[in-house]
Structure 1
């Protein structure tokens, strides 16, 4: 049974997504993000399945905007907004990700503000928006990543504002790390996320850098500043991880550790993310997965919600929690749980092979 809210259409409790749809969503994360996929193996089966569905829709949305022809990205965002509306109306588009999303939105009473924030961030990308300050950049990161952190928290059954604030911190930190890692790749695609005020302080003209992106001590200093900002948020997120259900903590801590390690790899490369792209080796990733089961000895004191993510936390407070999460994530009970475990064992064996010398 789900919460009563104008965000959600009245519809029968049977799920839209089939076993084949869930398999397609699982394949999307396996192909799209090795880091998230590795961390996801530590989630409980039902939570993992929902996370895959959410990831698949987010991945599809990002790809749809990135792959749109020049001048048509805005139209791609409009189409995504229409698909989101259909998912909330109980009439999802004919796609595994859309069917899985429709089930997730209703089952976990996810307020519409959260996925709409993601699409808003993609619309900013479509317009080629640039960011004057770190706060402006965090407002973007709140939309494309903080919103996902908040939705994942709801999928894990937690709606506490303090935990949601820390989940948003983690999402923003990951996005800042992504930006720090992809400075060169973004520039060659005509995209610029480094704060304009920082560039001006270093005497760097934005369009000149985009025309000829090259590694330099000045760009390296800006990358270091981004990583410092991310590190503060990674530390703040730890208290939120401790507030999650025990079975979910290792996976989220693993994602946090792996993404923070991307920052360490950038540092080891002299903060050059123009001529190279940092990658965490498989052996190191496996070690971080093992370490994720151990909580940090010290956790920072509670901190106020980032101003840039406060609207996401407030949106959750405005929507009642579901009285119970439907059991249809089990898709038939013990047989499916056994098959799911076999699949996870295969994926862990593949990760072990990747990390072997």
Structure 2
């Protein structure tokens, strides 16, 4: 039987050549990334201005990828109301994985945010494992996953924010073997996400999500899906304060690591810590009124936090009174051992409720 003929001689067949940033001009990637962070996060955009130019541009490139992944996973456009769509969610996560893998392999993706990841990954030596850790957080949301325990909650916080903190540390030039400083960068991401969870309880509930551990809800005698009901507001206030207390511990640890960075990097990191820390502490201060109106930081207050960060960057931070219970090492062990987490099924309410 004759062998099939190739449509083109094998000698002229070529794989797609590696092209950092998908072959796009770096300046174009940076400009689109700048637009993305300006639109998606005023707080991070402000803090990023304090970086030196190289760090600032790399931070923008990384942010653009994170933002795009989040929007693809949730069907959003630079944030806004969550519109969870379980049908097709796995396909969207798979698309994120494929595009990310192509970007890291130096291949064009036809999506500028993923090409931006390819650019910054090549410059800052970001790895596929780092990116996979972040994508896993989107996958958990797509699966309708909810944390059963505090350890589960911290693993989720690691995926969606702690792992990003590690990538940001590499962007700022922290060595791959400087595990203690990478741990502190992870701590800052964990603090950010814990404060976000406390602030966004109402919005998450409206989207059918809850990041409070089931065990916490059981301890407080709150039925599944009922934690935002007025009858349980006192218990919710206690749990939000508990979240912010844990965030404060991680923030204090992160400040120790920030002291090892160059001055402008230190200033930017401390400014972001001040802004997000203030959000969590405002939730705790408002008590039962914390979810009547979404907590935010005014432009004037942000400038105050930036000014305070400048002074803080000049001083050596105090050692934490108590180091966080959850370490990056413990969380990573749990992440590697757990594998895919099965979603907790929601108990349907009777039709007459």
TM-score, normalised relative to structure 1: 0.79
For the pair 1:306 / 2:323, whether they are aligned, the reply is no
Distance verdict in 2 for CA 1:273–1:195, change over 3 Å? farther
Q: What are the within-5 Å matches in structure 2 for residues 107-256 of structure 1? A: 107-159=123-175, 160-209=178-227, 216-256=233-273
Provide structure 1 residue ranges, at least 5 long, that are not aligned to the other structure.
1-8, 315-357
Specify whether residues 286 and 138 from structure 1 end up closer, same or farther in structure 2 by C-alpha distance, changes over 3 A only: same
Is 2:23 the counterpart of 1:16?
yes
1:54–1:100: 8 Å Cα contact kept in structure 2? yes
Q: In the aligned structure 1, how far is the partner of 2:112 from the partner of 2:323?
A: 38
Tell me by how many angstroms 1:268 deviates: 3.0
Change over 3 Å in CA distance of 1:298–1:252 after alignment to 2: closer
For 2:139 and 2:230, the matched residues in 1 are separated by 25
In structure 2, distance between residues paired with 1:225 and 1:79? 36
Structure 2 residue matching 1:247: 3-state secondary structure: helix
**Cα displacement (A) at 1:275:** 3.0
SS in 1 for 2:23: coil
1:31 aligns with 2:31: no
How far apart are residue 290 of structure 1 and its match?
1.0
Larger Rg: 2
Flag as ranges the 4+ runs of structure 1 deviating above 6 A: 12-15
Cα 1:252/1:309, change in 2 over 3 Å: farther
Ranges in structure 2 where 5+ consecutive residues have no aligned partner: 1-15, 76-83, 337-353
Q: Equivalents in 2 of 1:107, 1:28: separation in Å?
A: 20
Equivalence map 1:288-307=2 (5 Å): 288-295=305-312, 298-300=317-319, 305-307=327-329
Query: Structure 1 281/124 Cα, relative in aligned 2: closer, same or farther at 3 Å?
Result: same
CA contact (8 A) 2:165 2:185 kept: yes
RMSD: 2.5
The structure-2 alpha-carbon separation of the partners of 1:96 and 1:213, relative to structure 1 and needing over 3 Å to count, comes to farther
The answer to whether structure 1 residue 43 and structure 2 residue 60 are counterparts is no
Higher RCO (C-alpha under 8 Å, 6+ residues apart): 1
Residue in 1 that maps onto 2:5: none
Give, in angstroms, the shift of residue 213 of structure 1.
7.4
Counterparts in 2 of 1:245-324, with a 5 A limit?
A: 245-270=262-287, 272-295=289-312, 298-300=317-319, 305-310=327-332
Quickly say closer, same or farther: Cα 1:14–1:290, change in 2 above 3 A: same
Cα 1:50–1:298 change in 2 (3 A) is closer
- Assess, with a 3 A threshold, how the Cα gap between structure 1 residues 125 and 64 changes in structure 2: closer, same or farther: same
1:308–1:102 Cα change, 3 Å: same
